Amino acid sequence: MNTNRKLMEKGCSVAVEDVIKAFRCREPEKRIPVLRLELDYELALLHEAMIERNTHRIDQCKARLRELRQEMLMLEAL
């Protein structure tokens, strides 16, 4: 119950399909380190896009970061 409250406070909307997918993942502890690397990489891409002032790439990076954040919240809730 506490984790549900935490997700709701952050303004994260979680679909039922996402919850089912997360539960099917048998080894979330192995996915989390990979996910952190993906987050770091995407942040580096966002930094480059900001330096280049490439608004299209900035929007793409932000969208991908939102997806990765939602996945991380799901995995940490398990």
Q: Which residues of 43-75 are buried (b: 16+ CB within 10 A; e: fewer)?
A: eebbeebeeeeeeeebeebeebbeebebbbbbe
Interhelix angle for 2-9 vs 55-77, to 10°? 170
Domain count, the chain: 1
pLDDT digits (tens, 9 = 90+) for 42-70: 999 999 999 999 999 999 999 999 999 99
Q: Which of 15-19, 65-69, 70-74 has the highest mean pLDDT?
A: 65-69
Mean model confidence pLDDT for the chain: 80
pLDDT (0 to 100) of residue 14 = 58
User: What Å distances lie between residue 74 and 4, 47, 62, CA to CA?
Assistant: 10, 26, 18
Q: Which domain holds residue 36?
A: 2-77
